[in-house]
Structure 1
């Protein structure tokens, strides 16, 4: 399902008519436009496997290993689900995300599915670099204490923990308030995917939202953006082109034949005089 010019034009038409507001912190910016996610994957060759007349969207990767489901009619709190089938060398994995997860944060995860980052650091590294408060018990929280990251063991008998991210309303004392959105990565999710999501989450730069777009919480701060509407559209188009290029490069790397080993040169005996 290649991304068409008509689909890009529909995105541009919506955002070119909106006055952008810089919205922060990111975890309270609201869901934004889901096409940040779906356009990126379509540009990388993912195809639709769902009924085009259904509210549900299912996208599959070119190798059919990954399946992303977006279901705004879900009866659970998870609107986005990613499943990866196991291979001979890698286990399968599962991740899910709630309704109000900002699409631009989710793209940190989905973009890394298209082309893994050149470096694969400890997922905690971007969190500590962003000055989020990290506790000794494997948890961290945002400066406003509303977003929490936890690396949670499966059980006391297992050393394979899973990642849990939750944004909650302020609570009282040790009790957290109602949940706004969540993200969950099972114990088999590759570290570079979790790290890419956390990098996008803790980024201090604001996200752009329209004047009447839904935010995650009333305490989100919105200020008129220095960006013009066309600049928001151009940034989306540039990202799509970059993902196309990265996906083509990744495919070339997979299909490139292995170099033929050089033949060993056998020493020849010296000729007799």
Structure 2
């Protein structure tokens, strides 16, 4: 007699910037279901393209090993200049989502200086020289043109003092990226909250460098958290008139099933 399969469980991993990519739906599902971004039809393609209802912004998820996997781009409108945010393949989806959330919700009312987020979290450095996380694995610098560059790196064998460092992922926020988006990304970087991952799917050098709690979480909780997130962000959707969904009048977007 075949034994029933055990429920899938996930590990709690911290710091989140060393947790690996995770579930891309954490980014894409809220954009479509909470903010009504439209998915471009790309048959037989591994890429994803979502476009804002006003056609001024887009999110690209393109699994190209030689290019950034995530690209959030605003084309510019009126007095607002164009800007772009990109992230590499192993950027945790939770960090990518900080940028998309901040942009799609139009941010908060309180202005935040991005550098203050890192400094107040105890990261080493200064606005002039850049910041490094307390564990030394993540660095944030700003170039002469005002763009922010983020690099996460670790070593192949933490117990070997001579082990070479490995680039885990990198991000770039161009100079015109709104400060609310930059500050939101930095807030995600300094967050002490763990994220959920399938430990067996993590590459070895990340398992060696990150902290993995012994307590496991049922995978269904991650799915529930995703849809709770959609509901929460739906309530924050900017209340402004938008053009109707092209070609899909009155057709609701797919919802979760129980």
Give the match for residue 151 of structure 2: 166
Q: Give the superposed CA RMSD.
A: 2.4
User: Do 1:32 and 1:213's aligned partners in 2 also have CA atoms closer than 8 Å?
Assistant: no
1:29 aligns with 2:22: no
User: Do 1:48 and 1:59's aligned partners in 2 also have CA atoms closer than 8 Å?
Assistant: yes
TM-score, normalising length: structure 1 = 0.77
Give the match for residue 124 of structure 1: 115
Pick from 200, 205, 213 the counterpart of residue 212 of structure 1.
Answer: 200
Deviation at 1:49, TM superposition (A): 1.5
Aligned partner of residue 169 in structure 1, secondary structure: strand
Deviation at 1:179, TM superposition (A): 1.5
Give the match for residue 189 of structure 2: 201
Give the match for residue 141 of structure 1: 132
Aligned partner of residue 223 in structure 1, secondary structure: strand
Q: Quick one: distance in 1 between partners of 2:241 and 2:122?
A: 38
Aligned partner of residue 183 in structure 1, secondary structure: strand
TM-score, normalising length: structure 2 = 0.81
Deviation at 1:194, TM superposition (A): 0.7
User: Do 1:50 and 1:56's aligned partners in 2 also have CA atoms closer than 8 Å?
Assistant: no
Q: Quick one: distance in 2 between partners of 1:190 and 1:74?
A: 28
Give the match for residue 48 of structure 1: 39
Q: Cα distance 1:136–1:234, how it changes in 2: closer, same or farther (>3 A)?
A: closer
Q: Cα distance 1:253–1:62, how it changes in 2: closer, same or farther (>3 A)?
A: closer
Pick from 61, 80, 91 the counterpart of residue 52 of structure 2.
Answer: 61
Q: Quick one: distance in 1 between partners of 2:215 and 2:37?
A: 33
Deviations along 1:27-54, one digit per CA (max 9) or x if unpaired, are 1000000010010111110111140421
Size of the aligned set, in residue pairs, is 228
Q: Quick one: distance in 2 between partners of 1:243 and 1:232?
A: 16
Give the match for residue 144 of structure 2: 153
Give the match for residue 230 of structure 2: 240
User: Do 2:154 and 2:209's aligned partners in 1 also have CA atoms closer than 8 Å?
Assistant: no
Aligned partner of residue 153 in structure 1, secondary structure: coil
Structure 2 unpaired stretches of 5+: 1-5, 243-258
Deviations along 1:139-166, one digit per CA (max 9) or x if unpaired, are 1011110100011112xxxxxx110000
Q: Quick one: distance in 2 between partners of 1:225 and 1:130?
A: 26
